[in-house]
Amino acid sequence: MLTSYLKIAWRNLWKHKLFSVINVFGLASGLVVCFLAIAHIKGSFDYDNFHPNRGRTYRILTDVVGKDNDITPFATSPMPLAATLKRDYSFVEEAARVAKTYAEFSSNQKRFTTVSYAVDPGFFRIFGYKLAKGRPATEPNTVVLTRETAEKFFGTANPVGQVLQNTELGQFTVTGVLADMPIKSHLVFDMLFSLQTPWNPQQRASFADWRNYQTGLTYVLLKPGTTADALKQVLPSVVGRATRNLHFKTEKGYSLRVQPFTKLSPSRQELMRATNEPQIGGLLVEAGVGLLTLLLAAFNYINLTLARSLSRAREVGIRKVAGAVRWQLVGQFMAESVILSLLALGLANVMLEFIKPMVFVQKWLIGGVVWNWQLTAIFVVFSVIAGLLAGVIPARILSGFQPSQVLRSQTGLRVIRGISLRKSLIVAQFAISMIAMIALLSMSRQMNYMATADYGFQRDRVLTIPLNTIPAQRLANEINQLAGVEQVSATSELFGSYGYDHTVKRERNGLDSSTAFVWASDPQFIATMNLTLLAGQNLPPATADSVASGGSRLVLINEEAAKTFRLGNSREAVGKSLWLNDSTEVQVAGVLKDFRFTSFAWSIKPLIIQNNPAQFRYLTVGVAAGNEDAVLADTKRIWKRLSPYEPFTGQWYTDFLQQRHTHPEDMDFTTLLLVLSFSIACLGLLGMVTYNTQTRVKEVGVRKILGAQVSQIVWLLSRDFVRLLLIAAAIAMPLGYLAGYAFLSNFAYHVSLGLETFALCFGSLLVLGGLTIGIRTYRAALDNPTESLRAE
């Protein structure tokens, strides 16, 4: 019987090739998006499974209770906790601290900012990060590198025994190179260096402070046979003893809890200071997008199957008269669905091979995912289930026809008065696609706005050059001599990037601290970037004393900083003092007019600019109009002479902002999803229009003989479908507005959802839908009526 079902199903699919192709392509498009989501979800559960002691390893989380009794969970915990647990409790086999830093290291005439973790020696005993060469970094001032970082600094040479230099922590000896991780880890880093390295007194005090729960992660390895309950029971007493006499400034206190390493990824809770494990909410969104795309394809199958319901009803009637029962008819229709889903599975795998190399897909979805037989089995089972679910509605409806219904002209499928189920599904398809288009267009316009908007500083004809190991002054002197160069200055950050904030106070021991961005630049920077000085004077030139003491004591601030720290207006703020990180007193030399120097997601933040040559990382070169190409070529020659082994990576400021904010790889993938959704919807519409014209071919022939024009016939055949497109647009516009606004509300400065956005989306919907309808109906209207009426 099963063989008979499959043969008949195959013959039906082959007989109606257009509908079969539409269904296979639609299901394949939905499946490929679902496959990407499935692969990412599976990969998120595989994070860190190469560590040998996962079942006995735990991370300690901190639940901080605020003054308003709100609880904020942190992935970090107090730094003294690891040593206390290992020393006082015999069931703890090992405990280790992990502190994340963004540090700049230099070696071999190269300098890079790295993502680093300072780790205890126990880290290498808890985790299974294997070394390709050398030994772990367990002694002070030792470091192990990833393979990519080792190649950046030393090329193909053996890095073991080489020295890296850090301005704050001194020299580090490379003791080993880490092997490539077989899969992804929640810790993403360029290097691991020893936490035993001598730190400055302020940092050491921070590490010993039980009130400081935001600096480091704590991992605990329990002895075999010990349950997590033993660790849970001792944490309250540890916190009680450690914090009994401590005073907290902004919170009431905190408690500690245990997170099993096996449940670390995906993260079930949004944590502050989190690591790189996927969030369960993001995975659910991905799954939702995949299922929504698949649902659009399922709509096609339901639509086209029910559209042919009259011809299938006759088939059902004959089978029932011949003695078939309902479950046998359901089996026949479900067999067709399974064959379609298996064909779609094959096409989806072909499409997946073309999508896999996309940057966004590799970086955010399937990078590091192990493609094994288990994942393949999941894909096959998912495809069969998707096919069965897509076919269940048509199967139940069609198998329920009675033989007496065969001669009726309609199947009576209604959702609401005047709108059939098939029409409702078409409206849903195009409404969902248009909502996605409005959201995507809003995202694209916002990214373009962030890349091209007026930031309040000079962005045209400004060349930015990462310094690496070349002294800023030496390179500036060389470039200053070039024809066409107007200004040359040095800075620690580029405007338009995120930067790092610092704690700033009016009084050293005051409680009125706030955060501000502290950037370093020289006196020429104001003129190069065309900033406006409202009051006071520019930064003074650097002196030997200011360099030795970590920067000039005279600083520039923006208007927002004067307001935040209550320094009065611009003139009143000049001459007043501020304290940076409780250790450095600076005096306001001048006040700059506010400008946008960070992400558009934030409103303008307090900014402090200090002349500190030790922090200079970029050179900015103002170029006269018409001299851009010549200056760029001459600068490259100077760079080649001063740093022959380091490639020139300078770029124009406009290009930097474009790359920083447009995220082309994200937009490419989102556009792909939009194209797939519209393709599915248009193909479904094409199938419906095709079937509609086929059932009305004799009517068209009679009307043409009676004198109807081609345009009249086209309108007759297409007006119902155009009406459906208008209904879809009416539904999608308000929902699309909400979707676009939800995205734009994340930015302090954003574009507006104007009429142009909706006009473009509405126009695209009408063009795509109109072409789909018009081409098919126009061909039907041109058919010779003698062909359709010959049998009459």
> Which pLDDT band, with edges at 50, 70 and 90, does 420 fall under?
low
Determine the pLDDT at residue 617.
Answer: 86
SS (H, E, C) 324-372: CCHHHHHHHHHHHHHHHHHHHHHHHHHHHHHHCCCHHHHHHHHCCCCCC
In-domain check, residue 729: no
Q: Which domain holds residue 178?
A: 55-263
Poorest-pLDDT segment among 32-36, 427-431, 633-637, 786-790: 786-790
pLDDT, tens digit, 9 for 90 and up, residues 617-631: 899 999 999 999 999
Do 238 and 113 belong to one domain? yes
* Predicted local confidence at residue 407, as pLDDT: 47
Q: Where are the beta strands (DSSP E) in 452-525?
A: 462-466, 485-491, 501-505, 514-520
CA–CA separation, 41 and 23 (whole Å) = 27
Answer with the one of 370, 388, 412 that is the final residue of a domain.
412
Q: How far is CA 631 from CA 465, 635, 651, in A?
A: 13, 6, 12
Q: Are residues 248 and 126 part of one domain? A: yes
The residues with which 77 forms a beta bridge, in sequence order, are: 216
195 and 71 belong to one structural domain: yes
Same domain for 231 and 307, yes or no, is no
Same domain membership, residue 178 and residue 92: yes
Going by pLDDT thresholds of 50, 70 and 90, the confidence category of residue 190 is very high
Residue 433 lies in a domain: no
Nearest to 465 by CA among 634, 219, 651, 239: 651
Residue 503 shares a structural domain with residue 404: no
Amino acid at 407: L
> CA 544: distance to chain centroid?
45
pLDDT, position 775: 80
Q: Are residues 106 and 255 in the same domain?
A: yes
Question: Are 251 and 290 part of one and the same domain?
Answer: no
Q: Is the pLDDT of residue 203 over 60?
A: yes
pLDDT band at 311 (very low <50, low <70, confident <90, very high): low
Measure the CA–CA gap between 620 and 539, rounded to whole angstroms: 17
| Res. 84: pLDDT tops 60 | yes
- Sorting pLDDT into bands at 50, 70 and 90, what band is 549? low
pLDDT band at 581 (very low <50, low <70, confident <90, very high): confident
Reported confidence tier of residue 669, pLDDT bands at 50, 70, 90: confident
Please report whether residue 201 resides in a domain.
Answer: yes
Model confidence, pTM: 0.76
- Residue recorded with tokens 């490639």: 647
Q: Are 205 and 61 within one domain?
A: yes
Task: Give residue 411's pLDDT.
Answer: 45
Residue 363 corresponds to which tokens in the numbers above?
Answer: 């970086």
Give a yes or no: residue 448 inside a domain.
no
**Tokens read off for 282:** 């993001």
Co-location of 74 and 210 in the same domain? yes
The residue that leads in pLDDT, 64 or 249, is 64
pLDDT reported for residue 490 = 93
Residue 409 confidence (pLDDT) above 50: no
Same domain for 38 and 108, yes or no, is no
Per-residue pLDDT tens digits for 328-342: 777 777 888 888 888
Cα–Cα distance list, 4 to 7, 129, 163 (Å): 5, 56, 74
User: What is the number of structural domains in the chain?
Assistant: 3
User: Among residues 626, 645, 664, which one ends one of the domains?
Assistant: 645
Query: What is the model's pLDDT at position 61?
Result: 95
What sign does the CA torsion over 304, 696, 11, 327 have? positive
Q: Which of residues 645, 675, 692 is at a domain's end?
A: 645
In a domain, 755, yes or no: no
The pLDDT, as a whole number, for residue 322 is 73
pLDDT at 507: 76
* 778 is a domain residue: no
622: in domain: yes
- For residue 408, is it within any domain? yes
What is the pLDDT, as a whole number, of residue 582?
A: 67
Residue 600 has pLDDT above 90, yes or no: no
Q: What is the pLDDT of residue 110?
A: 78
Q: Rounded to whole angstroms, how far apart are CA atoms 73 and 213?
A: 11
Segment 482-534, tens digit of pLDDT: 999 999 999 988 988 776 677 787 777 666 678 888 899 999 999 999 999 99
| Amino acid identity at 765 | L
Do residue 239 and residue 311 come from a single domain? no
| Chain segment 153-186, per-residue pLDDT in tens | 988 889 999 999 988 888 999 999 999 988 889 9
